[in-house]
Amino acid sequence: MAVNTDKSQAIILRKDHSNITHNTLEFFDEEIEWVTEVKYLELIIDNKLTFRQHIQYLKEKFWSKINMCLPLIGKYSKLSLYIKVLIFKRILRPFLTYAAPIWGQAAPTNKKKTQVIPNKLLKIITNAPWYSPSKKYQKAALYSNTNYRAIKL
């Protein structure tokens, strides 16, 4: 069996803020570095399991995808609302909900950040003013705020 120790990292998951120095960890006679966050299968896991870094990464990546789709779903798009919502549900939402059962246990403030992203996008899709309440557009787009699942009106 071949293991690339250059790509291997060690992390300790804990709640407290202790700065304990860790003993060196060796694997196949090579030292493995201790880190505070690890990226595995596009999920960033930090040592306190707050998922703050993952959600920040998710926001940046999601908005880059939205900017690519903006000509299709934006204000001047000639597509119907049904097609715009379909683009959201089939292309954009799966990216946002990837590994949600894992990072769904994040801190409430971080989870709130993930709920703001689709709310802004739904206002873009429906050409709504930024100051209007989001709940009206969530129902119009067959969107559930808490579970990211389709609902029937």
pLDDT at 153: 31
Determine which helix (DSSP H) or strand (DSSP E) holds 121, and give its type and residue range.
helix 108-125
Domain count, the chain: 1
pLDDT digits (tens, 9 = 90+) for 44-85: 888 888 888 888 998 899 899 989 989 988 888 898 888 888
**C-alpha 142: how far from its chain's center?**
20
pLDDT at 64: 92
How far apart (Å, rounded) are the C-alpha atoms in residues 125 and 122?
5
pLDDT digits (tens, 9 = 90+) for 34-43: 888 899 888 8
Q: Is 20 exposed, middle or buried (0-12, 13-18, 19+ CB in 10 A)?
A: exposed
Q: Is the pLDDT of residue 145 over 70?
A: no
- Residue 7, in any domain of the structure: no
Reported as a pLDDT band with limits 50, 70 and 90, residue 149 is: very low
- Residue 33, in any domain of the structure: no
- The pTM of this model reads 0.72
Q: Is the pLDDT of residue 150 over 60?
A: no
pLDDT digits (tens, 9 = 90+) for 108-137: 888 888 888 888 888 888 877 777 666 655
Query: 94: domain range?
Result: 49-141
- Residue 5, in any domain of the structure: no
- Residue 115, in any domain of the structure: yes
